[in-house]
Amino acid sequence: MVERTDALTRTIGRRYQVTGELGRGGMGIVWRAWDQVIGREVAIKQLHVPDGVPPAERAVFEERVLREARAAGRLSDPAVVTVFDVLSEAGGTFIVMELVLAGTLAEVVGECGPMPPEQVVELARRLLSALEAAHAAGIVHRDVKPSNIMISDSGVKLADFGIAQTLDDTRLTTSGSIIGSPSFMAPERIQGADATPASDLWSLGATLFFAAEGWLPFDRQTTAATLHAVLSETPRMTRTQGPLGSLIMGLLIADPRARFTPAQARALLAAGPGPTATAQVPAGPGAVRSRFPARAKDLGRGPLIAAAVVLFVAGLLLGRFALVPGAPAAEEATLSYGPGGDLETFAPSKSDPCAFGRPSSGSTVPEGKIRRCSEPHDLEIYATGDPFGSGSTNDISYPGEAELARFGEGMCAAYFASDKIVLPGKDAALRYGALVPSERSWELKRQTAMDDDSDSDAGSQAVHCYLRTTDGVQLTTSVATG
């Protein structure tokens, strides 16, 4: 085939009549075309190799495009762009695929602002389904990001497997090159590890963060600054709470071994979006317009959501998981402990984190009920944390029971969902809850911790997570690791 001055006169492969250009980028040009054999519109991606690229690297780029076709052609999921054909002629490579007339997620959020939580949940479900299908076929996408996600009235589509790496392929990269988009690249990939299904899930978390919050959590002015942000910074959500917030931050856990799995993600998605950290105001001209199909449109019609102020500027870290408001409500009611709290007496220790009795308003867990976890017990403290970090901020005033409760519920949900709890079938077998200090306990700690006499310290500012069995049967060993 010979390139012609007027692209609209071109016919590719003696079959596809070019009717227009849809877009172009560093990896190629995408044409709109008419399939003269079947009689349908298609999109055709033409490999575009910049001038001056050495022959060896040109071969890598060409092989990468062919790999895109092979990878995407193996997938069958409603949220994956379908590949119909692959052509090579006159030194050019062309991929014929389903024509999706839609805006990208980047364009939708840029135009309309953050999506309502219900729409983000629906987006997460569909993208998770697409990634699970790819991973089951041994394919890692490697470039999940808003500009590769198409949103139309007919559905959501994950596009551009152009740098997808099949797990049984040799690694095709040029020496020293970055394969993927730095803002959406998992920390372990920046550190030199291969792309894995877990790294795709991290990219999904960053993408959902963008959809829910309306800004790129790790994007900085330079590539170096962006990479540093991915490795060392924790974004804070101001709009999103409940299961959706927990899902997004769980996908952004730095350690891939602790990062949420698809099963954990689906469990949170089943709970719906949950509450938002926002106030509702009447919808106006700037309200978010749905770009989803009917099911999500039905969920998404509602008032404009206005962002609230984050109350905690820092939180306990699990890997790089910032446990700020954004976790699902604990399954047991959150209780306060200490003077004036629901539990007047509560004093577990690190060496004896288990006890008799079930926490409830007006009950007590005195020292005589504290037990080692090797003895029969009703509850176990499986995590403890400082809302403002490592006990170095005892002089901060009481933030309020509601704010501590949100922090505690997020912390407890994240630890419970992680591999810190090792009991098989834990979701059905166990229940968990948060215990937060009362105002008097907090202020007592604040007063006595600042007098330079550690022997006189009293009160507490710690938040505790406890668990018990669903059926009330006593535990005979610890179910928490570490």
Residue 152's DSSP bridge partners are 155
> Cα separation of 363 and 344, whole Å?
7
Respond yes or no: is residue 143 known to be catalytic: yes
Span between the terminal Cα atoms of the chain, in Å: 65
Task: Read off the DSSP letter of residue 276.
Answer: B
368's tokens:
């005589």
Cβ neighbours of residue 380 closer than 8 Å, sequence gap 6 or more: 353, 354, 373, 466, 467, 468, 475, 478, 479, 480
Q: Residues 77, 143, 342, 378: which is the catalytic one?
A: 143
> Cα separation of 86 and 12, whole Å?
11
425's tokens:
């079938």
Q: Give the angle subtended at the CA of 471 by the CAs of 436 and 326, to the nearest 5°.
A: 35
User: What H or E segment, with its residue span, contains residue 299?
Assistant: helix 294-300
Is residue 342 classed as helix, strand or coil in its secondary structure?
A: coil
Cβ neighbours of residue 451 closer than 8 Å, sequence gap 6 or more: none
Q: Which of 385, 90, 411, 361 is nearest to 246 (CA)?
A: 411
> Cα separation of 1 and 20, whole Å?
18
Sign of CA dihedral 360, 361, 362, 364: positive
The Cα-based distances of 294 to 152, 300, 389 in angstroms read 11, 10, 45
Phi first, then psi: what are they for 7, rounded to 5°?
-65, -25
- Detail the DSSP E strand segments found in 111-164: 139-140, 149-152, 155-158
Q: Give the angle subtended at the CA of 435 by the CAs of 418 and 369, to the nearest 5°.
A: 100
- At 105, which amino acid appears? L
Phi first, then psi: what are they for 408, rounded to 5°?
-65, -40
Our separate counts of H helices and E strands in the chain read 12, 21
- At 228, which amino acid appears? H
Return the number of other C-beta atoms located less than 10 Å from residue 340's C-beta. 11
> Cα separation of 14 and 443, whole Å?
80
Is residue 277 classed as helix, strand or coil in its secondary structure?
A: coil
334's tokens:
């959150």
With tokens 């996600």, the residue in question is: 149
Phi first, then psi: what are they for 418, rounded to 5°?
-80, 180
Task: Report the catalytic residues.
Answer: 143
